[in-house]
Structure 1
Amino acid sequence: MNTKLEQRQKIRYRIRKKIAGTAEKPRLAIFRSNSDIYAQLIDDNQGFTLAAASSRDKDISAQKITKVEKSKLVGQAIARKAKDLNIAKIVFDRGGNLYHGRVKAVAEGAREGGLEF
């Protein structure tokens, strides 16, 4: 029997086999810890991060709201940064997490910000 962490790692590898980000259509990678959530726009061809946002950013962490609401703000922040880079379409990478709760909130925030998945 695999641990929860090992199961998530297997799912991450399975997802990454299928999707990859380019400069025109980068991968929106989500990492979720117990207390925070991080989002990155990644160009896998060049191997570097184009933009990043997290719930630890000063303007987001200063607010006294729930983790799900902070996650939505992270999605909107990454969408703003993508707009500055003239990026409209992305590939979503949920990082082995279920598309539910905070991960879903980031996706919804990014969509509201104008990103297309």
Structure 2
Amino acid sequence: MSAKQDLAARRAERLRFQLRQKAYGRPRLSVFRSSQNIYAQVIDDAKGHTLASASTLDASLKGTLKTGADKAAAAAVGKLVAERALAAGVKQVVFDRGAYLYHGRVKTLADAAREGGLDF
């Protein structure tokens, strides 16, 4: 691994440790963004199960989006993951941004998930 990847991994682990301390049993809304797509999933760490997930590669979103790598795509994924989490009975989550800054597509996804009904 390069030094940059090492720092990103350390940032992500540090954030997840803090989230585990403050989660109080709530599921985690985890975000991963690549250069072409964005992914989000609600994870129950106690059981090790994914409760809901959404990405720009989903069939319901893929045809409607111009690209999977912009804020509009992030907003669509945020609303979709919130809708699926509410259908699974999850109302409150903790937001796991990973090693990414809370800015741009990550912030847009979080705002859309809040508008979709998730509480964090």
> Can you give the 5+ residue segments of structure 2 that lack an aligned partner in the other structure?
none
Q: How many residues align?
A: 115
The list of structure 1 runs, each at least 4 consecutive aligned residues, that deviate by more than 3 angstroms after superposition, is none
Tell me the CA shift for residue 108 of structure 1. 0.7
Residues 18-29 of structure 1: matches in 2 within 5 Å? 18-20=18-20, 25-29=26-30
Alignment gaps of 5+ in structure 1? none
Within the alignment, does 1:53 sit opposite 2:54 as a pair? yes
Q: Distance in 2 between matches of 1:112 and 1:9?
A: 30
Call closer, same or farther: CA 1:64–1:82 in 2, change over 3 Å: closer
AA of the residue aligned to 1:65? K
TM-score (norm 2): 0.88
Match of 1:96 among 96, 99, 114: 99
Sequence identity percentage = 42
**What do residues 35-88 of structure 1 show as CA deviations (whole Å, max 9, x unaligned)?**
101101001111111111001112222124352101011000010011111211
d(CA) in 1 for partners of 2:54 and 2:88?
A: 14
Superposition CA RMSD, Å: 1.6
2:112 matched residue in structure 1: 109
Deviation at 1:115, TM superposition (A): 0.6
